């Protein structure tokens, strides 16, 4: 089955840049979404179609997808960005989520 690998954790200081990667052999062949999930809450879509931000998502969230790796970048990270982040992609109309990354803002 198709697998998407993320680093388990990323630590960042307030105001700095957090980079979260998502690796999979078919990444360049499909659009990638990114979801933020805070404890006890439902996930929130922060990036869709590799680079697009839904309405209401701050500009500090950006995405890219090239080769076998998709990347979520949080520029000027704020304390409120501390959460789990999941990438998600498609393989022949079958969905798959990444393993998830816990972002800690120190």
Q: Distance between CA atoms of 69 and 26, rounded to whole angstroms? A: 9
Judged by CB under 8 A, the chain residues 56 through 95 that form the site for another protein are 84, 86, 88, 90, 93-95
Binding residues with another protein: total (CB under 8 A): 24
Position among 42, 59, 67, 80 found at the interface with another protein (CB under 8 A): 42
Q: Is 31 helix (H, G, I), strand (E, B) or coil?
A: coil
Does position 39 interact with another protein (CB under 8 A)? The reply is no
Position among 54, 64, 78, 104 found at the interface with another protein (CB under 8 A): 54
Q: Distance between CA atoms of 103 and 6, rounded to whole angstroms? A: 12
- 14, 95 contact by CB (below 8 A): no
């Amino acid at each position: 089955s198709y697998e998407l690998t993320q680093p388990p954790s990323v630590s960042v200081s307030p105001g700095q840049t957090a980079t979260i990667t998502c690796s999979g052999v078919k990444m360049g062949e499909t659009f990638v979404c990114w979801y933020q999930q805070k404890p006890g809450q439902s996930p929130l879509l922060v990036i869709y179609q590799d680079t697009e931000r839904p309405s209401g998502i701050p500009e500090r969230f950006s995405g890219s997808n090239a080769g076998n790796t998709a990347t979520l970048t949080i520029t000027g990270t704020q304390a409120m960005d501390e959460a789990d982040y999941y990438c998600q992609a498609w393989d022949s109309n079958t969905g798959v989520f990444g393993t998830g990354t816990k972002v800690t803002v120190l």
